[in-house]
């Protein structure tokens, strides 16, 4: 198993598809596609599971809850505005990167179909 992986931002295999969970939907009808590129179990007792992949969402607005999850995102295309409850709002587009730390609660508003690279540690 290689320890250095190049991420293909246009994978050729079929993604997992889903719609926004009804209890998190605020507006619109966002549809998601996830191409999981890698899963690593690294010192499971310490780090848990680390997942890497490509995610796509159509326009809509949902509640975002990170719980115990840490997520790094890099936007490949599209635009979204993320607002932290009681905090600031930020709009992200192609080339922008950000993290959402454990405990994050807010809203994710997809303005234009967005595609991102993600790294999630849980």
pLDDT reported for residue 56: 97
Question: What span, in angstroms and rounded, lies between the C-alpha atoms of 38 and 61?
Answer: 27
Instruction: Return the CATH number of 28-121, one of 3.40.50.300, 3.40.10.10, 3.30.230.10, 2.60.120.10.
Output: 2.60.120.10
Q: State the pTM of this model.
A: 0.82
Tens digit of each residue's pLDDT, the chain (122 residues): 455 566 788 899 999 999 999 999 999 999 999 998 877 655 455 567 888 999 999 999 999 999 888 899 999 999 999 999 998 899 999 999 998 988 899 999 999 999 999 999 88
**Which pLDDT belongs to residue 65?**
93
CA distances 122 to 3, 29, 46, 65, 119, Å, are: 20, 27, 10, 13, 10
Contacts with 77 (C-beta within 8 Å, 6 or more apart), sequence order: 94, 113, 114, 115
Structure-token pair, residue 53: 């992949």
Q: Where are the domains of the chain?
A: 28-121
For the record, the structure tokens of 41 come out as: 């179990």
């Amino acid at each position: 198993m290689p320890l250095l992986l190049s991420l293909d931002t246009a994978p050729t295999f079929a993604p997992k598809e889903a719609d926004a969970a009804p209890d998190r939907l605020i507006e619109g009808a966002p549809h998601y596609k996830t191409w999981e590129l890698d899963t690593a179990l690294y010192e499971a007792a310490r780090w848990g599971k680390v997942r890497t992949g490509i995610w796509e969402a159509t326009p809509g607005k949902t509640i975002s809850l990170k719980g115990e999850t840490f997520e790094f995102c890099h936007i490949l295309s599209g635009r979204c505005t993320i607002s932290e409850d009681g905090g600031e709002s930020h709009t992200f587009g192609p080339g922008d990167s950000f993290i959402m730390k454990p405990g994050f609660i807010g809203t994710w508003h997809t303005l234009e179909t967005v595609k991102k690279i993600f790294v999630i540690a849980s």
